[in-house]
Amino acid sequence: MGNVNLQKFYPSNGTVDATEVNANYNAIAGSSSGINEENVSSEGLIKDHFNFRPTIRYADYQSNGYYVSTGSTLANDAQYRSLTDNNIATGNKTNDADKRHELNHSSSGVSSTQQGIGTKIPVGGYQQGSNQRAEGIQLEVGDVLHVFWNVTAYRFEPDRASFTPYVCELINSGATAGSILNYAFIAYPRFNCVDDLGSNSNFHRADDSTDGFSNDTFRDPADGVAPLGGGGGVSDPNSTGLNNLTPFVDNRTDHWTWIPVMMGSGGDRSGSETVAVMMDAENGASDTAIGESKQCAGQTYIKVDTQQTLYSIQLYLTGLMGLHYDTSAEKNGTFIEDQASGNAQGGIDGTLHVERASIGYVVYRKEAV
């Protein structure tokens, strides 16, 4: 206790004044009933003195701040490519660099690698006196990390050849058959437990064997692409293609947000393809897209099994993904689309237009003061 002035009447055993005893009792009771100006000593911080149990270690939220008016054309850096590209001047049009995109355009639609811009959020805020280095939070075993995000997608725009929209080399001036194609981009988070500056090369899965913090077995969408005999740069779709089928099995995919894309073609009609891409458009009156923007949200909870310092989190986008049924494993699964059918020299070509994107997190701890 602090400043409690009592009337001294012990041990003289003189006449006891009831008024003085009551005043002493009230003084003691009032001073020890809680943390206040009369009770500020070290024992005032004993947990029993708290009438609540804080469980949130830290929480934060970040938006890229990119807003455009209806009908606007999004900046080039806000357009994210599918895995194949008809601009590659060879038959091997699978561009490995488009297997995974950082969703990192800024409030002006310009790509950035800096923390605090796009969806690269510095965990724990910035270090004092710095607008670059993340403070980081030491994740303890038993903590729960809650990550949540939102992506506003406007449309998928097919690549164009000779100013004629088309979506695949199977749909060109020589094609006669119509087709319906159903794919999706996937948004998902990755984690940096390596450096406080947030280098893109240091973002990994939550279960990364060296820099991860979870014992769960995750599956990132782009993990499905492992070129057979290929490597960086441009791969041969005849070698990759449907060899990339990846069963879901027991891998966690609850951190995936599917952004659906549906396309249809009537085939060649007088040298002009009639491709309708039904993916939310900017103005609802385009020949390649209909509708308004689509908000695609997601969240995931991850229990911490390995102590790590988490410096930053970032959202990523795949190229187009498809669903399949693996008859040999009798499992449902996915593949990342780099050929539209067996031995086709090219897959689905185009870009997903993304405006707003945001990310946030909460670190829950079992017990804290």
Tokens 């008859």 belong to which residue? 327
Q: Are residues 18 and 72 in the same domain?
A: no
Same domain, 115 and 220: yes
> What distance in Å separates the CA atoms of residue 161 and residue 172, rounded to the nearest whole number?
9
- Let me know if residue 103 belongs to a domain: yes
Same-domain pairing of 210 and 322: yes
Instruction: Give the pTM.
Output: 0.76
In a domain, 84, yes or no: yes
Which of the four pLDDT bands, split at 50, 70 and 90, describes residue 43?
A: low
Please answer whether residues 361 and 313 qualify as being in contact, where contact means their C-beta atoms are separated by less than 8 angstroms.
yes
154 and 184 inside one domain: yes
Tokens of 91: 């038959």
Regarding whether 87 and 46 lie in a shared domain, the answer is no
335: its two tokens: 């593949």
| Domain contains 369 | no
Range of the domain at 182: 52-364
Residues 184 and 256 occupy one common structural domain: yes
Instruction: Summarize the confidence of residues 195-224 as an average pLDDT.
Output: 90
Any alpha helices (H) in the chain, and if so which ranges? 18-32
Q: Give CA–CA dist 170/174, Å, rounded.
A: 9
Number of domains in the chain: 2
Residue 197 lies inside a defined structural domain of this protein: yes
Question: Is 305 domain-assigned?
Answer: yes
Last residue of a domain, one of 51, 75, 93: 51
pLDDT in tens, 127-160: 999 889 999 999 999 999 999 999 998 877 777 6
Same domain, 182 and 280: yes
Highest-pLDDT range among 260-269, 313-322, 353-362 = 353-362
- For tokens 């701040």, name the residue: 65
Same domain? For 42 and 112 the reply is no
Domain assignment present for 247? yes
**Greatest mean pLDDT among 36-40, 197-201, 227-231:** 197-201
Residue of 59, 63, 125 whose CA lies nearest to 311: 125
Same domain, 119 and 7: no
Which band of pLDDT confidence, cut at 50, 70 and 90, is reported for residue 290? very low
306-327 pLDDT per residue, tens: 999 999 999 999 888 877 666 6
Q: Let me know whether 136 and 199 are in one domain.
A: yes
3-state secondary structure of 271: coil
**Same domain membership, residue 32 and residue 121:** no
Least confident of 4-13, 96-105, 212-221: 4-13
Q: Is residue 141 part of a domain?
A: yes
For residue 71, tell me if it sits in a domain: yes
**Same structural domain for residues 126 and 217?**
yes
Q: In one letter, which amino acid is 82? A: S
